[in-house]
Amino acid sequence: MQQIVNFILRNKTFLLFLLLLFISVMLTIQSHSYHRSRFINSANFLSGGIFNASNNISDYFGLREQNKLLQEENNQLKSILFNVENNLNSPYVDSLNFAKNYIFTPAQVIRNSYSSTNNILLLNRGKKDSIKQDFGVISSKGIIGIIEKTNANYATVLSILNTTSSISAKLKKTNHFGSIKWDGLLPNKIQLSEIPKIAPVATGDTIVTSGRSAIFPKNIPIGIVSSFNLDTAENYYEIEVTLFNDMTNIEHVYIIENRDVEQIENLLENND
Amino acid sequence: MTNFLSIHTIRFVILLLLQVLLLSHVNFMGYINPYPYILFILLFPIKNNRMLFILLSFLLGLFIDMFLDSGGIHAAASVTIAFIRPAALKFSFGALYDHQAIKFNQVDFGQRFIYISILTLIHHFILFSLEIFNFSKIILVLQNTLFSSIFTILLSILITIIFSGTNKK
């Protein structure tokens, strides 16, 4: 017993180091598994408050650009409103035409990241605005990501530029579906896989969400095909998609709540 | 003692805020960011309690992780360089370290450069290995480590030069 106590006392620094290293590696591993509770996250009073304060200042620098984006979107919505029969070919999000079971909440991005391999965004909406985990996030041009963690006033978003996220997508013209993942290299390109070999893919084709998950409605634009080739087994296409969104300067986004999500999940659970 | 406490508390807070509000958004060439918050660990007084030092380094890393939503990668990297700092000190300062008489703003430039470089490279290597967490992307890890380290080392040396002139201690 004496020897054990002596051993601990002698190596207390090393043991403390091992303990702390173990804790931090555990936190890292946890953050790499999709949607497991990220224990240390920025949706809290301290970091959320600081980022909000700094965003209040830095907001002004992008006002002109963001105004232009909002104006473009207004323009788009107006033209849809006045030409309802023409809106089927629009590459933009049409929030008016979705079924009523989707609720949209506007939000602002107060922290954006796109340079690491696991990017997380912070929004200024939280539980007070009835935002919960697994709500979709889109901008006027296309999808952004999925809500991961929320607290009273803030929410973190698992960006599509995150190697752990995966979203179901399809070719707009033929409805062949696959899933998009990011390889962690360029912030304007993501990869679409699992599109069967038989699908007629061409560069310039539009990729949209498939509506197969309960998170995003159908036909939210993602990007266009910039290049494609068959995978090593030659059964599926590996497609490089250029995003419509510029993920480096997003500011105004919309959070989508699907009211039927509980019903859908119940149904799926009963089937299994 | 209060003077010592206040200087290091202020340094902790300033480096933390500088890192999360400004330097993590540099994104030079798209992905290169400097991480000079490790200056807190590099310049922490040598004679102090080692357990406290390791604990403080862990806390600094954890705070950075909290702001940047990066799991525990900064905490792991920081606590590692805090633990191996004595070895790096011995390697770069040699005889001076044995007498525990190092004043960081009095040692000559070459030694200081080697000291900062060693710890920065180790820190960044652990950081990016844990961030990318994929052995098949080892090239990406090494590339990120190299470029970010150059940036961090330059910035750290500049900061030490600028601030060693003003507070003569």
Least confident of A124-133, A247-256, B1-10: B1-10
Residue A213 bridge partners (DSSP) = none
**In this structure, are residues B129 and B143 in contact, taking their beta carbons and an 8 Å threshold?**
no
A45-163+247-271 and A167-243, same CATH topology: yes
Fold adopted by A167-243: Thrombin, subunit H (2.40.10)
Nearest to A47 among B50, B66, B140 (CB): B66
Residue B169's pLDDT is 42
Torsion sign, CA atoms A242, A248, A251, A256: positive
Measured CB to CB, residues of chain B less than 8 Å from chain A are 17, 20-21, 24, 27, 30-33, 50-51, 54-55, 58, 61-62, 65-73, 75-76, 79-80, 82-83, 130-133, 137, 140
| A165 DSSP assignment | -
State which H helix or E strand residue A79 sits in: helix A63-82
Alpha carbons B41 and B37: distance in angstroms, whole number: 8
- Nearest Cα neighbor of A187 from B24, B25, B31 is B31
- Beta-carbon separation of A40 and B54 below 8 A: no
Residue B168's pLDDT is 44
Helix (H, G, I), strand (E, B) or coil at A63: helix
Q: Where are the domains of chain A?
A: 45-163+247-271, 167-243
pLDDT tens, position by position, A16-54: 999 999 999 888 888 777 655 566 777 777 888 888 888
Lookup: tokens for B11? 């340094």
- Beta-carbon separation of B51 and A12 below 8 A: yes
Higher pLDDT: A78 or B10? It is B10
**Average pLDDT over all residues of chain A:** 83
Alpha carbons A146 and A166: distance in angstroms, whole number: 10
Each residue's pLDDT, cut to its tens digit, for chain B (169 residues) gives 567 778 888 889 999 999 988 888 888 887 889 999 999 998 888 876 888 899 999 999 999 998 888 888 999 999 999 999 988 888 888 776 766 667 776 778 888 899 999 999 999 999 999 888 888 888 989 999 999 999 999 999 998 888 876 544 4
Residue that has been written with the tokens 């309690």 in this structure: B49
Chain centroid to CA A88: how far?
A: 25
Lookup: tokens for A153? 């006033």
Residue B147's pLDDT is 93
pTM above 0.90, yes or no: no
Alpha carbons B153 and A249: distance in angstroms, whole number: 29
- Beta-carbon separation of A184 and B58 below 8 A: no
What is the nearest CA distance from A194 to chain B, expressed in angstroms?
22
Residue B75's pLDDT is 93
**Cα-based angle B140, B146, A182 (whole degrees, multiple of 5):** 25
Given a cut of 90, whether residue A55 has pLDDT beyond it is no
Torsion sign, CA atoms B42, B44, B45, B50: negative
Fold adopted by A45-163+247-271: Thrombin, subunit H (2.40.10)
- Beta-carbon separation of B83 and A17 below 8 A: yes
**Nearest C-alpha in B relative to A40:** B66
What is the nearest CA distance from B86 to chain A, expressed in angstroms?
12
What is the nearest CA distance from B154 to chain A, expressed in angstroms?
20
Least confident of A215-219, A257-261, B90-94, B105-109: B105-109
A42 contacts on B by Cβ (under 8 Å): 66-69
What was the ipTM of the complex prediction?
0.83
